Structure 1
Amino acid sequence: MAHEKNYTLRILHISDLHERGPRETESWRRQRVLGATWEHNLEAVTAAGPIDLVCFTGDAADWGKPGEYAAATAFFHAVLKKLSLPPERFFLVPGNHDIDRGLHLAEWQKLRETFSQMDGLTLSRWLRGSGKPPPGADTGWLEPVLARQAAYRQWLTELGREALLPERHDHGRVGYHVCPDFPGLPFPIHITGLDTAWLAGDDHDAQKLWLTDDQIMLHATDKEGNKFPGLRLVLCHHPLWDLADHAAAKNLLAEHADLLLRGHLHNAVLERSDDPDRGLVELAAGCLYEGHHADHYPNGCQLITLQLDGQGRPISVEPWFRAWSERGHWHDDDSRYKQSHQGRLLWPLAQAIARIDPSSNPYDFNRPALPPNFVGRVALMDSLIQALEEGSSVSLVGDRCIGKMSVLKNFEQKARIMARTVVLLRGEGPEAASLSAFVAAITGKACADCADPAADRLAAWVDRVGLPGLPPVLLLDEAEIFLRKFEYRFFERLRGLLDRLCLVLATHQPIDLVFEQLGRGSPFDNKLRIEWLGLLEPAAAEQLVRRGEGKLDGEDQALMRRWAGRHPYFLQLLGYRLAEARRHGKSREWAVDQARSNAYPRLRQLWKTLRNKDKQALRNVATGGFSATNSTFRLRGLQDENGRLFGEVLRQWLEEEDEA
C-alpha cells in the first residue's frame, strides 16, 4: 500500500506587543528589542523554511487608544514584508489591552455588576442578538461595552484585515471564521478568531470574562452545525481558566479545534489537556514586548511547525521557542522545557494504540495519580492556576487519602509548564528534620538552624530563581509537621516573602486551627486563599469506576459506586482489590474484605480528628436519624451534597465501631 503523503504548515505565533504610540517614553528600549535585532530573529527562523501564517493573539495596543495602533500597523506591515506574506495570511484577535477602558465606563461597570446573576445560555443568546438580556442587565448596555473596541476594529480596516471584523461573520458581534486559500494542500485550513476580551476592563478580569457557546460554535461549525474538515486552528487571547465559562468553552473547543493559540500569560506554554472523550492542545506565545520590564524581560515568540496527514489532521507539533536576551540579541530558548534542544520541542499528537498488559491492574491506591490517571478536580486546578497567575498563596485543606499529593503533583507539572521554578516538599520527608534541612532542600545551600538565617537564605533563593512576573512556587505537603516543628519567627518571615513567592500549604485541618493548638495566632492570617479538597465530581468518579472495564463486570462497578461513592482513595482501593480478585479467581466478598483491611485503619485515623459532637452527628447520619448536610462534612468529603455518607464503607465502619 502506498505511503500517505504528509504536509507541513509553519506558523509564526506572536502576542502582546503593547504599543504605546505617542505615550512611549522609552522608544530606544522598544527599538532595541524589536528593531534590527528582531529582523535578524526573523531571518533566523525563516532560514529553516518559509512561513505560511502569522498569528497574533492579542494586545497590539497598550490602552486601546487610536494613536497606539499607527505604530502597530508599521510593525506588522514590516513583519509581513520581511516574511514575503500578503495581509491575507495575517490573523489576529483582540486582547484586554485593546479595550479602551475610558470609554462607556458606566455601562461596563453595570454589566460586570450583574456577573453573579448571569447564566451562560441567556448571555450567549443576548450577545448574538437573539435573546433577552440576562437578569439585571439593560438592553442598552451591550453596544457601548462593545464600542470600547472601536479603535481596534477601525485599525483592522487600516491594516487591510477588515475581513476579520465580526460584523462580516455569522455571530455579528464578536469573533470570526475564515478559510484562506492554500494552493497545493488537499484539505482546507479553518481559522477561528475568538474574542475573550470584550468584557475586560480592569486588573481583576479573571473568572469574569465570557466567551459564550454561540461565539465558539457559530465560528467553529458549518451552517448545519457540523464540524469542519481539515485543519482547525483557533486563536484567542486569554487562557481558558480566566473565563467564567471555562469548562463549557474547553469542552466545545476540544471537540472542534486541533490547536488553540493564545497569549496574555507573557511566557511561552505548550500543554495538552485530555479526558476520555476529547483533548485540546494549547500554545501560548509569550510576550513580544513586556511594557514595564521592556528590554530587561525575556520577551519571546515561537515558530510552530505542524506535520499534517492527507486529511489535515495534526501528526505532530514542534514549537521553536525564541527569546530576547537583555544582552541585546534573540536566541534559542531551552529554559522552558528540559526536553527541548536548540529551542525546539517535538510533540507527537497522533494517538498511539495502547497495548494493555492483561496482568496489569488499572487501579493504584498507594501512589499519587498523575496524568493520564489523574481525573477531576477541574475547578480546584483552575483556582490554583488563577492563584499562581495572580501571585496569591493557598491553604489546601483535606483529610488523609483524599488526594492532596495528587493535586500538588499535577499542579507542580502545570506550574513548570508555565516556566516557574517549583519545589515540592513533604512533612514526612527528611527535609522536616530541622529548619536547616528544610531550607537546604529548597535552596541547595546549608544555613544555621534558626529562624532569621534560614529566612535570609530562603529570601536570597527567591530573588535568585524568580523571573519578572514569574515568582517561584513552594509546595508543602503534610505542612502541619513543618508548622509545629519550626520556630514561629521563621513563618513570620515567610509571610513577608509572599509578595514574591507562591506558597501552597497542604494540611489536614485549617492552618489557623494548627496554630491555635500551639497557642498562637496564624502568621498567615488573611494571606492565603483557602481551598478544601473533598469528593470527586460525579463524572470524574465515574471515570475511575469505568477504568476497570474489561476486567470488572457491571456488578463490580455497581459495588464500587455504593461502597466508595465519589471518594478517590476508596474507589481506587476497592477497584484494585476487585481486579486482583478477578485475576486470581477470588470472590467479590474476598475483595471487599481485603479492601476493609486497608480502609478501616484510615477511617480510625480520621475519626481521631473529629470533635465529639461531630462524631455523634456522623453516627446519626449512619443510622438515618439525621440527614441534613453538614457543611464541614461536605467540604471534607464525609457527606455528599444530599446529606448522605460518602459510601457504604464509612457506614459499615461506624456500625462496627458502635458494636465494639
Structure 2
Amino acid sequence: MSYASLPTNPFSTGGKIEDTRLFIGRTDELHAIAAGMQNVQPTNINIVGDKHIGKSWLLYYFCLTWEQRVSDQNRYIVVYLSLRNANCQTEAGFYQAVADALQSRLSTWQFNLKNALRTKPLNRQAFSNAIKQWKQQKVLPVLCLDDFDRLFRHPQEFDDGFYDNLRSLMEDNALMLVLASSKSLNVYGSEHRFVSSFFNIAHTVELQELTTDEAIQLTRLPISSVNNTPALSVDEQEKAQQWGKRHPHKLQLAGYYLWEARQQGKSIKWAKEKFEQQIADFQQQGKGRGWKSLLGWLDPLHLGRLATKIGGNWDDLQNRIIGMLILVVIGLGLIRVLPLPDVKQWLERIFNFVK
C-alpha cells in the first residue's frame, strides 16, 4: 500500500493510524490474532486492557496489515468497527453496521456475497443466514469490534439470545471475532449475569505497557515518510521516556508536546506542564466514569432488575420499587437505624420474595 506523508507533528494523540510506520510494538498480539484466523477452528480473541493502553490502535492496525500476516488472503474479509457508533445501540443497528463494513471490503468478484447481506430487515435470523452463505463460499468474516463493552449498556437489546447467536456462528466456524474491552468477557458475563456460553469461548490477550526497546523506538519516530531523521532531539527523546515511561499514550503525549514546544519556541517547562495537565485531565475523567459506574449500580431500576433476574417476570415499575426497597434497607443500615443482622434479614426477605 502507499503511504501518505506523516503529519506535521508525528506524535498522534488521537484518532486512528493511517501510516503504518507510526505503529510500534505489539508483535506477539498481532501474531496471536493472525494465528487465530488460520487455525482449523478459528480462535476468537478478546483484547483486554486499560483505557489508552492501545486496544483501538491494535485492532485498527491489524485491519490495515492483516493481508501481510496470512497465507491465503482470499479466505478472509477483515473489518474494524467501533461500537461507540450510535447506530450500534440496537441489535438491528449492529447487524446493519457490520453488513455495511463487510460490503465495503468486498471485491467485484465477490458480488454474490453482498447480496446475502442486503436482506431487509436484517434481523438476527437474516444475519445468521447471510454469514452461513459466506461460509458456503469459504470466506471467513473477521470482525474487529472495538469498545465491545458498550453493548452491555443496552441489556434489553443485547440479551443472552443475541450472544448465543454469535456463539453459534463462531462455533460453526462461520465467524471470527476480535473484541476489545476494558475487562475480559467472562468478567462481564458474571457482572451482568449472562448465562450464554459466548462469554467463555474467547482467548484473552491482555495488553500491557510497551517494552523498553519499543518505548525508545516510539520516541524516535521520523519527521516524515521521506525523512527518517527522528523528530525529537536526543535530549527530547530522553525527556519523553522519563515522562511517559513505557505507557504508549503517555509517550505519545510527551512526544507531542516536546515537538510542539520546539516548533512554537516554547520551553521544556511549558511542554511538561501541558503534558502533566493532559494526564491530570484523563485521570479526572476516569474518576468521573468511576462515580457514574457506581451511581449506575445504585440506580433503583438497575438494582431491581438485578434482584428479579433470579426468577420471575417483572416490569420496570416493579423493578424500580424493589430497587428502592433495597436502597432503603442498605441506607438504614449505614446510618445504624437497623443493626447489621436485621439488614441481612431484610435483604434476604426481598430476594426470597422475587424468586
Q: From the superposition, tell whether residues 496 and 363 of structure 1 become closer, same or farther in structure 2 (CA, over 3 Å).
A: same
1:395 is displaced (CA, Å) by 0.8
Counterpart residue identity of residue 248, structure 2:
P
Show the 5 A alignment for 1:247-262. none
Cα RMSD (Å) of the superposition?
2.9
Between the two proteins, the alignment pairs up a number of residues equal to: 255
- Residue number among 191, 197, 209 corresponding to 1:517 in the alignment: 191
1:489 corresponds in structure 2 to 161
Show the 5 A alignment for 1:174-193. none
Q: Does 1:421 align with 2:77?
A: yes
Counterpart Cα distance in 1 of 2:202 and 2:5: 45
| Worse-superposed segment, 430-439 or 458-467 | 458-467
- Residue number among 155, 177, 196 corresponding to 1:503 in the alignment: 177
Contact residue 394 and residue 528 of structure 1 kept, 8 A: yes
1:562 corresponds in structure 2 to 242
Answer 1 or 2: which has greater strand percent: 1
1:366 is displaced (CA, Å) by 0.9
Show the 5 A alignment for 1:256-271. none
Counterpart Cα distance in 2 of 1:609 and 1:533: 21
SS state of the match for residue 400, structure 1? coil
- Residue number among 460, 475, 481 corresponding to 2:144 in the alignment: 475
SS state of the match for residue 399, structure 1? coil
1:384 corresponds in structure 2 to 33
Q: From the superposition, tell whether residues 446 and 569 of structure 1 become closer, same or farther in structure 2 (CA, over 3 Å).
A: farther
Contact residue 425 and residue 431 of structure 1 kept, 8 A: no
Q: Deviations over 1:444-481 (max 9, x none)?
A: 44766xxxx73212212212334665411112110011
1:406 corresponds in structure 2 to 57
Q: Deviations over 1:329-352 (max 9, x none)?
A: xxxxxxxxxxxxxxxxxx89xxx9
Q: From the superposition, tell whether residues 592 and 502 of structure 1 become closer, same or farther in structure 2 (CA, over 3 Å).
A: same
Unaligned runs of 5+ in 2: 101-117, 223-228, 291-355
Show the 5 A alignment for 1:188-207. none
Query: Taking CA–CA contacts closer than 8 Å with sequence separation of 6 or more, which of the two structures ends up with the larger relative contact order?
Result: 2
Contact residue 220 and residue 230 of structure 2 kept, 8 A: no
Identity across the alignment (%):
26
Unaligned runs of 5+ in 1: 1-346, 611-660
Counterpart residue identity of residue 16, structure 2:
P
Contact residue 422 and residue 473 of structure 1 kept, 8 A: yes
Counterpart Cα distance in 2 of 1:412 and 1:467: 23
1:363 corresponds in structure 2 to 11
Q: From the superposition, tell whether residues 608 and 469 of structure 1 become closer, same or farther in structure 2 (CA, over 3 Å).
A: farther
Contact residue 551 and residue 582 of structure 1 kept, 8 A: no
Counterpart Cα distance in 2 of 1:355 and 1:446: 41
Contact residue 440 and residue 446 of structure 1 kept, 8 A: no
Contact residue 416 and residue 422 of structure 1 kept, 8 A: no
Counterpart Cα distance in 1 of 2:44 and 2:140: 11
Counterpart Cα distance in 2 of 1:569 and 1:383: 22
Q: Deviations over 1:196-231 (max 9, x none)?
A: xxxxxxxxxxxxxxxxxxxxxxxxxxxxxxxxxxxx
Q: Deviations over 1:361-388 (max 9, x none)?
A: 1211112234111111011101110011
Given the two structures, how large is their TM-score scaled by the length of structure 2? 0.65
Counterpart residue identity of residue 529, structure 1:
H
SS state of the match for residue 472, structure 1? strand
Q: From the superposition, tell whether residues 555 and 607 of structure 1 become closer, same or farther in structure 2 (CA, over 3 Å).
A: farther
1:393 is displaced (CA, Å) by 0.7
Counterpart Cα distance in 2 of 1:355 and 1:399: 31
Contact residue 185 and residue 200 of structure 2 kept, 8 A: no
Show the 5 A alignment for 1:69-148. none
Contact residue 88 and residue 97 of structure 2 kept, 8 A: no
Counterpart residue identity of residue 473, structure 1:
V
SS state of the match for residue 169, structure 2? coil
1:400 is displaced (CA, Å) by 1.4
Contact residue 48 and residue 207 of structure 2 kept, 8 A: yes
Counterpart Cα distance in 1 of 2:204 and 2:30: 13
SS state of the match for residue 9, structure 2? coil
Counterpart Cα distance in 2 of 1:446 and 1:573: 45
Counterpart Cα distance in 1 of 2:56 and 2:189: 22
Counterpart Cα distance in 2 of 1:524 and 1:356: 41
